[in-house]
Structure 1
Amino acid sequence: MRILLLSLCIFLFINKNINAWRVFHHGRMVGGNIGKPFHYRSSKLKTIPEKWFMQNLDHFNPGNDQKWKQKYFVNEDFYRGSPSGPVFLMIGGEGEASDKWMTQGAWIDYAKVYKALCFQLEHRYYGKSHPTPDLSTKNLQYLTSQQALADLAFFIQTISAQYKLNDDVKWIVFGGSYPGSLAAWMRMKYPHLVHGAMSASGPLLAEVDFKDYFRVVDEALATSSNTCATAVRQGTTQVEILLRHMIGQRNINEKFKLCDPIDQNINNTNDVSNLFETLAGNFAGVVQYNKDNRIGKGRSNITIDSLCEIMDNDSLGPPIDRLAAVNTMLLDAYNQTCLDYKYDKMIKQYRNVSWGSETSEGGRQWNYQTCTEFGFFQSSAYSPQNFGNRFPVNFFIQQCIDIFGPKYNKDFLDASVRRTNTLYGALNIDVTNVVFVQGSIDPWHALGITKTQSLGAPAIYIEGTAHCANMYPQAADDPPQLTAARIQIAELINSWIRL
């Protein structure tokens, strides 16, 4: 009963009847990796209207004078009109920018203390910021982190002139997940415009085969129970066994509520890979966002403990039945009737180039960025591993080819990732006035800076917290180490402003 109530109480921030691989795909939750913060008094919070900024389509081609409208928000409530600032800028990422971030979250708490003028700029190609008529592969050439950084630079220059800010104004940028990387890169690439940066959960190392992702997931499960990860591995092995014969396949159809039955003598390896990756994603999505305060007071969240409570419950049957129970809990939580694992159906969705398509919320765009800049493919290559070995890195590279064309093959990806690491320095980034914040449970910390490399760019590694946890509103039950991290960040911001 407790688990049933837990699944019914989960805060739904996605549309009904959305398919499983669209809920959590490539380490990205639908809507973006930074969910909207939820405040128990959100109905009383101020509504911040959308504003629009005329932006350059291509910052690196002087012969291209095309413009487009980029969405942004501003909150002047804490600002005292001083021409010397400070000014806080929250960087948008791989999802729609939300006005809810303009009135809550840790950065707003800091803004109240330091009387900051606050802006949030939506990332090009996400949300309502549409630079091109559609999302064709040709048009997506303008979707790069370099263009996004230049968007921020031109925005800062224009806003500074509009508000008649002094040249010595202190702009502090904030970002979490991919925008966490952008925040650090912004300080490195445009130090004359950005004085400091808070980089939360930023994956600074581009990597085609991100096999350590599921290593961290396994380790996170072990923090809840010594037997939880073992039960997951046993359940996965039992799925493998049932796939080998017709009766077993029928059992899988029923247990996991598959939208399309597995055919006898199944030979579509991509379908099988998609099935196993989706089952693994059931756990990865929960681990990545474990107790991150995106839901808020009075609401429950499915946590690592919830998963392990099921996986350790012998009364539910053998491990495969417990694995199926986890799957059912998440299907129910996201208002889904069945688990969609068919590879061709997925590819067809991601090939849709219309702004009105289901994947235009950011799925197609983020796929493009992973296929052209970052990789970040969470493969099953890590060993020993509890989710099987059915989704190797080649499975993800094939998706790049099938969605965007034969050009986006392994050689292209390898070269693209090398280029990204060359441009930004990866984990050897040379920067000051940046604080790198990572959580031990967050699988993305494996690609980030977790130890201080220089006094000018300290790292805060928060034990027991997940993806971007420090950015969300405070809660009474926050662990002491999370509270301490927020205080340390505030002190660093204060030191930057006073420099």
Structure 2
Amino acid sequence: MWDVAEELKAMLVFAEHRYYGESLPFGPSSFKDSKHLNFLTSEQALADFAELIKHLRKTIKGVKNQPFIALGGSYGGMLAAWFRMKYPHMVVGALAASAPIWQFENMVPCGVFLSIVTKDYKKSGSNCSRSIRKSWDAINRLVNKGTGLNWLSETLHLCSPLEDSDDVERLKDWISETWINLAMANYPYESNFLQPLPAWPIKVVCQYLENSNVNDTQLLKNIYKALNVYYNYSDQASCMNLSATATSSLGTQGWSYQACTEMVMPFCSNGINDMFEPHPWSLKEFSDDCYKQWHVRPRPSWIPTLYGGKNISSHTNIIFSNGELDPWMGGGVTSDITDTLVAIMIPEGAHHLDLRASNHFDPVSVLLARSLEVKYMKQWIQDFYDSQRKKY
């Protein structure tokens, strides 16, 4: 965005989403209960952005008759696309990078996300995904031995020891989330999006998992070395903390509430098309967890109702970019819908690689994607000025 803003002589405005960062409507009480959280919705956030644009037009010299473009990645990308759909008079177009706007009820298979994660590991090492798939049963077998919990706690250098079967489930969830995060941040150069990581981190992880025909204890020692690439690349961690998988403040609290109300994304695994333990999608189980945590029940149909689901061809000027290494691609728009609702695919791209600053190690596919994105933006700006001239 920094490079493109300079090229287009644009002003960059970063708007903080309500309930994230410092934008807490009720201060420290904002997350107290569901009554205080009532105003945390995507549509309220979009209305904020519309108000902000009105405010900028009024208060900043020279902005009044200028075009605006919405940009975002991940949830921000979904908001960028939806903003153009809901407020087409406010922005001339949107770049929605890695935006899984179809990862909702009955629009894509619930297993697509984890099967893409698995493909990333398959590509990076011949037995890598097989070793990971085998590790779940290895953990279960070790836990059933008398000293298994202690051995696992020590071998994986856990900050707090495993005490019961609930802890073991937490451990497995934490390991799964680590493999997912590595797939999202599988960039061609060192980065610190979720954690400080080496270039192509999955390749580095898979070096430790090349041999899948080892006994349970050796396999889990190898798993520890692989996890260490994610949690201790900078050599700062003295132990593994099961309560955190990302160092950056991504606003997980706000997102957890949104996922429990309107952002209901079904995920499942079967252990055949993916390297994870089988876990079917259960709305009831999900709903009960949400009720336990937030005293709310999810509305799985609301997002498709609000934003049109797959029926969006009447909108214009939205670029959907997706990296083929990014698990979120499964819920994204990956082929053109019309001449102005276009999909750009980045074969070597992980999560919104195109939005990151340019880097010496950028693959050609992302350079091409960025130049195409700029081409579309220039067209939108040109069209805006042409229509302004016709008015006068």
Task: From the superposition, tell whether residues 456 and 359 of structure 1 become closer, same or farther in structure 2 (CA, over 3 Å).
Answer: closer
Alignment TM-score, normalising by the size of structure 2: 0.85
Q: Are positions 1:380 and 2:293 aligned together?
A: no
Against the structure 1 CA distance between its residues 160 and 292, is the aligned structure 2 distance closer, same or farther, given a 3 Å change threshold?
Answer: farther
Distance (whole Å) between structure 2 residues aligned to residue 248 and residue 158 of structure 1: 61
For residue 14 of structure 2, give the secondary structure of its aligned residue in structure 1.
Answer: strand
Partner-residue secondary structure (3-state), 2:22: coil
How many Å separate the matches in 2 of 1:205 and 1:390? 21
Q: What amino acid is aligned across from residue 325 of structure 1 in structure 2?
A: K
CA-atom RMSD in angstroms: 2.9
8 Å CA contact 2:190–2:197 kept in 1: the answer is no
Contact 2:80 2:96 in 1 (8 A): yes
Partners of 1:180 and 1:198 within 8 A in 2: yes
State the match for 2:345 in structure 1: 461
Task: Measure how far apart 1:215 and its partner are.
Answer: 1.0
Are 1:424 and 2:310 counterparts?
no
More strand per residue:
1
How far apart are the structure 2 equivalents of 1:199 and 1:481?
A: 17
Q: How far apart, CA to CA, are the structure 1 residues paired with 2:97 and 2:324?
A: 12
Q: Name 2:377's counterpart in structure 1.
A: 493
Answer yes or no: is 1:305 the counterpart of 2:203. yes
Equivalent AA in structure 1 for residue 310 of structure 2: L
Instruction: Give the match for residue 115 of structure 1.
Output: 9
Structure 1 pair 339–418 and aligned structure 2 pair: CA distance change class (3 A): same
Indicate conservation of the 8 Å contact 1:310/1:326, yes or no.
yes
* Residue 167 of structure 1: how far off its partner (Å): 6.2
Q: For structure 2, which runs of at least 5 residues remain unmatched after alignment? A: 384-392
Q: Secondary structure at the match of 1:205?
A: coil
What pairs with 1:118-267 in structure 2 (closer than 5 Å)? 118-133=12-27, 134=29, 135-136=31-32, 137-165=34-62, 168-207=65-104, 210-263=110-163, 266-267=164-165
Deviations 1:426-447 (A, max 9, x none): 3332321111000011111111
Q: Decide whether the 8 Å contact of 1:381 with 1:392 is kept in 2.
A: no
1-side partners of 2:159 and 2:281: how far apart? 24
Is the 8 Å Cα contact of residues 104 and 303 (structure 2) preserved in structure 1? no
- Alpha carbons of structure 1 residues 423 and 478: separation in structure 2 relative to 1, 3 Å: same
Judged with a 3 Å threshold, the aligned counterparts in structure 2 of structure 1 residues 112 and 316 are, in CA distance, closer, same or farther, namely farther
Q: What are the Cα deviations for residues 329-365 of structure 1, in whole angstroms up to 9, with x where unaligned?
A: 4343474444455xxxx6xx9xxxxxxxx99861211
CA contact (8 A) 1:370 1:376 kept: yes
Cα offsets for 1:288-324 (capped at 9, x unmatched): 111166739x984461101111111579973222112
The DSSP-based 3-state class of the residue aligned with 2:329 is helix
Say whether the 8 Å CA contact 2:322–2:345 is kept in structure 1. Answer: yes
Structure 1 residues 381, 154: CA separation in 2 closer, same or farther (over 3 Å shift)?
A: farther
Gaps of 5+ in 1: 1-106, 350-357
Map 1:5-404 to 2 at 5 A: 107-133=1-27, 134=29, 135-136=31-32, 137-165=34-62, 168-207=65-104, 210-263=110-163, 266-268=164-166, 271-291=167-187, 295=191, 300-301=198-199, 303-312=201-210, 318-333=218-233, 335-341=236-242, 362-376=251-265, 378-381=267-270, 383-389=272-278, 393=282, 396-404=286-294
Contact 1:273/1:391 (<8 A) preserved: no
Q: What letter corresponds to residue 119 of structure 2 in structure 1?
A: E
In 1, the alpha carbon distance for the partners of 2:8 and 2:232 equals 44
Secondary structure in 1 aligned to 2:224? helix
Percent of aligned positions with the same letter in both sequences? Answer: 28
Change (3 A) 1:479 1:331: closer
One-letter identity of the residue aligned with 1:193:
M
Q: State the SS of the aligned residue for 1:466.
A: coil
The alpha carbon displacement at 1:111 in A equals 1.7
Q: Report the equivalent of 2:390.
A: none
